[in-house]
Amino acid sequence: MNKPLLHPLTWWIWAGLLAIAIVRFESTVLTVLCVGAVAGLVFWLREDAPWGRSFAWTLKLSLWILFIRTAIGTLIGVPIPGNTVLNLPIVQLPSWMPGIRIGGAVTSERLTSAISEGILICAIILIFGAAASLTSPHRLLRTLPVYVYEFGVSVVIATSALPQLVTSVTRIRQAQMLRGQSLRGFKSWKRIAIPLLEESLARSLELAAAMDSRGYGISPKRSRYRPIQWGYLDSLVIVSAIAVVGLS
């Protein structure tokens, strides 16, 4: 199937609007439904390119965030009265930290509020992750005006480094596995992170040098070989997102 080529800003505007809608919904069910729809859209539309895979990684990341957010939300904070689900021992804190409690009774109210807040955060991360995986970072850069040149360089590098990171992680994990390293626990992350950071840094510098030597940003005006046009599909996507905001 020939996938429609949209304006690179479309999905980012769309993501921003959806994020507004989700915050206004104040409903976990609608938020989850919305994220589900977004995920479906991503798997339908994404290209087979490095950035296309970044959604799966945002998914993993947001599950971690949800887990940590829920754990912290239930363990630390102001107690909410209600049905007690389980009782944890209270950690004694020094007297100069009044009002904060670690442990204690976990009520179902507290649990639900922690989870729904976590879901909200994750939903917003996921929606922007979807925008990132649907738009080529390179095309995005080309829509930026030249006077934000320094900014443009950093955006290109950041956005092309992230998907690059995903491919590099896979490669380095494979190599380390072959060295017979068990890749579990926190320690293994150090083993991946060091070659990874090193490589991304070197690559970013190389890309910046390449852009510079090809004259990026030297002329105050840039011409366009294939002007990026705003089509009716782009309007359609944005209108649908505005409609969702209107409904909320």
Partner 1 sequence: MIKFSNVSLIYPNSTTTVLEDLNLEIDEGEMVLVIGPTGSGKSSLLRLINGLVPHHTGGILAGDVSVDGISTQFVKPGGMSHLIGIVGQNPIHGFVTDTVEEELAFGMENLNLSNDVMRKRVEEVLDLLSLAPLRNRTIATLSGGEQQRVAIGSALVTHPKVLVLDEPTSALDPIAAEEVLSILQRLVHDLSLTVVIAEHKLERVIQFADRIVYINGHGETKIGTPEQIMVDSPIAPPIVLLARALGLQEIGTTVREMRRMTQDLRDKNYQNSPTEPVAHESAPIKIDSLSVTYPGREAVKNFSTSIYNNEIVALMGRNGSGKSSLLKAIAGIAQEYKGTVDVLGVNPQSLKGKARRECIGYIPQEPSDLLYGQSVAMECKQADTDNEVKQGTTMALLEQLVPGISGHTHPRDLSEGQRLGLALSVVLSSNPEVLILDEPTRGLDYQAKRELVSILVSFAQSYDKCVVLATHDVELVADLATRVIFIADGEKVADGNTIDVLLSSPAFAPQVAKVMSPHPWLRVSDVTAAIELS
Residues forming contacts to partner 1 in the complex (CB under 8 A) are 48-50, 136, 138-139, 141-142, 156, 171-172, 174-182, 190-192, 194-195, 198-199, 203, 205-219, 221-226
Q: Taking CA 119 as the corner, what is the angle to CA 116 and CA 125, rounded to the nearest 5 degrees?
A: 150
CB of 149 to partner 1, least distance (A): 10
CB of 30 to partner 1, least distance (A): 35
CB of 140 to partner 1, least distance (A): 11
Task: Say how far apart CA 195 and CA 172 lie, in whole Å.
Answer: 8
Nearer Cβ to partner 1 (103/217): 217
Task: Say how far apart CA 183 and CA 201 lie, in whole Å.
Answer: 23
Nearer Cβ to partner 1 (74/160): 160
Q: Is 179 left (phi over 0), alpha (psi -120 to 50) or beta?
A: alpha
Task: Say how far apart CA 114 and CA 66 lie, in whole Å.
Answer: 9
Nearer Cβ to partner 1 (21/156): 156
Nearer Cβ to partner 1 (194/236): 194
Task: Say how far apart CA 212 and CA 72 lie, in whole Å.
Answer: 46
Quick check: 133 and 52 in contact, CB under 8 A?
yes
CB of 176 to partner 1, least distance (A): 7
Three-state secondary structure call for residue 114: helix
CB of 179 to partner 1, least distance (A): 5
Nearer Cβ to partner 1 (2/92): 2
Total number of residues shown for the chain: 248
